[in-house]
Amino acid sequence: MEPATHPTHLKIRDAYGKIARIGGGCCGPQSSCCGGGRAGEVAQGVGYSDAELATLPEGANLGLSCGNPTALAGLKAGEIVLDLGSGAGLDVFLAAQRVGAEGHVHGVDMTREMLAKARLNAAEFRRRTGLDNVTFHQGQIEAIPLPDASVDVVLSNCVLNLSPNQPKVWMEIARVLKPGGRVSISDMVLLQPLPEAVRESVEALVGCISGAPILADLQNMVLAAGLVDRAFTDKGEAVEAMLPVDDPMTDHLLGLLPAGTKPSDYITSMIISARKSA
């Protein structure tokens, strides 16, 4: 049975379902804020190498990233990895190659169309690599469908900001991590509060802007979840890749922001790392 769904979940599920079905960005057919025709350009701009992208099944990269958390996770052979908001499988497939046949990568996504796309991509991934070490689950990141203390590493890429209950997500991350397990998450974080018009914009929500937390609030969530060795690394250069000057989402935001300001005055991409105490 489908879990109770928050109105924000419905908006996100509808928008990302459309991306999975017909391609293009959620802010227009050429928009990079949620993919579109610039998917490769966006991925490279936020930290993915040509070599990494070349290993992926066609269609796994939808340009939905704001960083490359897999590259910074220090994955080891045999580890169990979880990717929250796994989409079409970009980070799942990269992680699966790093943990190898003795490891396993779980992807969790609430959007049926994304899961269908990811599972189709998984068949191509198996054919290309010979690896059969990925599983995609339908579920919400506020209620991760995995047991307590079952994963070594939690990844996520520009997804946690979409949740209407981010403190609960962090508690769930701590729950599923094994003692000593670690977090490598790329997400959007606010440098200062957004104007009300941006906070109320559905386009800005789906584009990973309006749901982003203030840094101090994010730090408190991670602390409250009991995670240690917390680090928050600014990757502001990724914002330029996600929101170039000729992008429809950039135009939309500029129309809502005070005159003379720009999106990067309010928001940045950040790598969040932490560990569950052993």
Which token pair is 69?
A: 């958390």
pLDDT in tens, 86-120: 998 999 999 999 999 999 999 999 999 999 999 99
pLDDT in tens, 122-175: 999 999 999 999 999 999 999 999 999 999 999 999 899 989 999 999 999 999
Is there a domain that residue 118 lies in?
yes
Is there a domain that residue 1 lies in?
no
Is there a domain that residue 2 lies in?
no
Answer yes or no: is pLDDT of 199 > 50.
yes
Q: Which of 27-31, 109-113, 205-209, 226-230 is predicted with the least confidence, judged by mean pLDDT?
A: 27-31
pLDDT in tens, 7-20: 878 777 777 787 77
Q: How far is CA 87 from CA 81, 102, 117, 137, 201, in A?
A: 15, 24, 8, 11, 22
Q: Residues 31-35: what's their mean pLDDT?
A: 43
Is there a domain that residue 201 lies in?
yes
Q: What's the CATH number where 234 sits?
A: 3.40.50.150
pLDDT at 28: 39
Is there a domain that residue 72 lies in?
yes
pLDDT in tens, 205-221: 566 677 889 999 999 99
Nearest to 88 by CA among 49, 54, 57: 57
Is there a domain that residue 228 lies in?
yes
The total of structural domains in the chain comes to 1
Answer yes or no: is pLDDT of 1 > 70.
no
pLDDT at 47: 66
pLDDT in tens, 182-194: 999 999 899 988 8
pLDDT at 81: 98
Q: Residues 50-54: what's their mean pLDDT?
A: 76
pLDDT at 147: 98
pLDDT, averaged across the chain: 84
CB 70 within 8 A of CB 91: yes
| pTM given for the model | 0.85
The boundaries of the domain holding residue 16 are: 7-276
Residue-wise DSSP of the chain: -PPP--HHHHHHHHHHHHHHHH-SBTTBTT-STT-GGGHHHHHHHTT--HHHHHTSPTTS--S--SS-HHHHS---TT-EEEEET-TTSHHHHHHHHHH-TTSEEEEEES-HHHHHHHHHHHHHHHHHH----EEEEE--TTS-SS-TT-EEEEEEES-GGG-S-HHHHHHHHHHHEEEEEEEEEEEEEESSPPPHHHHT-HHHHHTTSTTPPBHHHHHHHHHHTTEEEEEEEE-THHHHHHS-TT-HHHHHHHHHSPTT--GGGTEEEEEEEEEE--
Is there a domain that residue 97 lies in?
yes
